[in-house]
Amino acid sequence: MTTEDILIACKTGEIPAYLAVPPVGKAVGIIVISAIFGVDDDTKKISERLAEAGFPAMALNMFWEDDVDPGPLSTDDYERAKARAIRVDRKDGNAYVEAAISELKSLNSCNGKVVVFGFCYGGPYVVEAAARYGIDGGVSFHGSYVEKYLSEFKNISCPLEFHFGDNDAVAPMTAIKQVKAECDKFEDRELFVYPGGEHGYMFPNRGSGYQAEAAELSWERAIKFLGKV
């Protein structure tokens, strides 16, 4: 596996991204969209783990144009991270994802297929990318406010997978049930709920918020999902 910091051309400049690539072969490429804290150690490790599993992974810095906090923030900076996420114009964010999809497809390590992985803040971008950019699949992990984007489902033709914890303060069960009801209308959309899982349960650096059992099961299911794309 090799890793490097890269720049992706888009209409407003160059998007910084972290790229992890398997040593040999071609496979489905993964766009990783992080939580509000940006491309931190957890996000980089997720990208690296994907590459170790044989999938080239590109983690986008969705906050690169922010004048105040363009880089990764720690979990102690929650309020700053939250405010920064609100400042990202949705059209701009989707343009970043679209540019990254094109860049990833051009890499020798990508077989031409792209799946978007979204974590927390990145969850809705999975839905929007699937509806707009012809990706081959999407996986959302404890996605924030996915329920607000359910109207996009009718425009999606690729498989989707959603992972939530039942103790998520940002994505409560009332929201998860809405997403589940919409998923049930389609054969290629699955939703999994993990007992005791909190928001960010996939991230080891979240301390007690990290739930290893739920995280590993989510990971296994996601890798299995990729094998079907």
Structural domains in the chain plus CATH codes? 2-228 (3.40.50.1820)
Q: Say what the pLDDT of residue 219 is.
A: 98
Cβ pair 19, 4 in contact under 8 A: yes
Cβ pair 171, 199 in contact under 8 A: yes
What torsion, rounded to 10 degrees, do the Cα atoms 107, 63, 40, 225 define?
Answer: -50
User: Per-residue pLDDT for 206 more than 90?
Assistant: no
Look at residues 64, 43, 67, 47 and name the one whose alpha carbon lies nearest to residue 56. 47
Average pLDDT of the segment spanning 216-220: 98
For the entire predicted model, the pTM comes to 0.97
User: Per-residue pLDDT for 161 more than 90?
Assistant: yes
Q: What percent of the chain has a predicted confidence (pLDDT) above 90? A: 98
User: Per-residue pLDDT for 5 more than 90?
Assistant: yes
